Structure 1
Amino acid sequence: MKLVLVGLWAVFVALGSGYAVASWKVDTAGGEEPVKLEGLRYTSLPTMSVPVLGAGEVKGYVVVRVVYTADAATLRLISAEPDPFISDEVFRTLYNRAEIHFGRLARIDLEEFAETVRSGVNKRLGDDVIQDILVDGLNYIDLATVDAQREIPGMQEPVADADSGAGQAAKAKGGGH
């Protein structure tokens, strides 16, 4: 009989301790959430080419590369990625501002450019998602200069004739027609 009572006592102790541990875990899990350390996410967009028009034709291209910063937690909450909106806003802003004056791009105020793009994107997204726009690179390619380089002797690549190449090599080996 002693053996049966010791066995029952062991079962009750095991069940009681299991219940106590389970209820203790539930109480501590329902408390504070651990603080997640998140910061800004830096995302680099692909290089964009914006045409510069003058007198009804393309005079050159503004080539720009931007990086944007946004709060990582906010990016997870929004339903759409901001990348296409930023690319579109950069393109629109540069396309509307690109002016040619004697073959040179007029100076752009980068602070104003970044703020215009940032505020336009945030307005379109409906929240203050984008923290900053950073200009990684900005360049102007003048098509007149590129065309002039094509006319310089030695800058052109030789064009292979239909008779050259493998046919000439075969004739040199004595396997001609």
Structure 2
Amino acid sequence: MIKLIGTGVWIVLITLGSVYFSLKMASAPKVDTAAAEREAALEFVSGYTTTVPVIGEGGVNGYLLTRLAYKANKDLAAKQTVPLPQMITDELYTLLVGKKMIDVATVGSFDVDAFRGIVKEGLNRRFGAEVIAEVYVEQIDYITTASVQDPAPKRGQTLIKGEVPAGQPAEKSGGH
């Protein structure tokens, strides 16, 4: 009889221990409030299509059409004296014309992640604060001057076709 009672007590203790352990492990995950606040402070800024001339020997060889999107800090972006789209366009001209980040002759050598990082770094340096959190490449196209003068098919090429994260607003109308 004592063995039976001892076995029953042992089963009850094991059951209670496993239920307690299961409830402890199944509790809600801890929320990183700092990360949630940082994400709430960001807004999605859809970029305009920017046309940048590709200057080579003898003049303009073609045009890079770029469309980038950004996640920016709402408060810091609102404090800027120069509007965000104009500053972004200027930085793209600096990178793509001044520093020649994209070599159209060797498309395969273009590093998209490095380009995003350099755009983000350059914009934040010019703003004097961490305004831009992320840069998204929607598309970069190259159109030759010959295709502009004689628009036959297959004269231009898409260099990069990116995707903006799901759930983001559509592109704003207008262009530069």
Unaligned ranges ≥5, structure 1: 1-34, 151-177
> One-letter code of the match for 1:121?
L
Shift of 1:80: 4.0
1:108-123 equivalences in 2 (<5 Å): 108-123=110-125
**Contact 2:44/2:70 (8 A) holds in 1:** yes
> One-letter code of the match for 1:63?
L
Which deviations, in whole Å up to 9, do the C-alpha atoms of 1:117-150 show, x marking residues without a partner? 1111111111111101111111111223454556
Unaligned ranges ≥5, structure 2: 1-36, 153-176
Q: Distance in 2 between matches of 1:69 and 1:49?
A: 22
Which deviations, in whole Å up to 9, do the C-alpha atoms of 1:53-100 show, x marking residues without a partner? 221211111110011111223333444432222111112111132434
1:1-177 equivalences in 2 (<5 Å): 38-95=40-97, 96-97=99-100, 98-101=102-105, 105=107, 107-147=109-149, 149=151
Q: Distance in 1 between matches of 2:49 and 2:76?
A: 25
**Contact 1:54/1:100 (8 A) holds in 2:** no
* Residue 22 (structure 1) aligns with: none
Q: Distance in 2 between matches of 1:77 and 1:147?
A: 43
* Residue 30 (structure 1) aligns with: none
Q: Distance in 1 between matches of 2:40 and 2:139?
A: 27
- Name the SS for the 2:53 alignment partner: strand
Summarize the Cα distance change of 1:57–1:129 in structure 2 as closer, same or farther, 3 Å threshold: same
* Identical counterparts, % of pairs: 28
> One-letter code of the match for 1:115?
G
Q: Report which stretch shifted further, 141-150 or 120-129.
A: 141-150
> One-letter code of the match for 2:55?
L
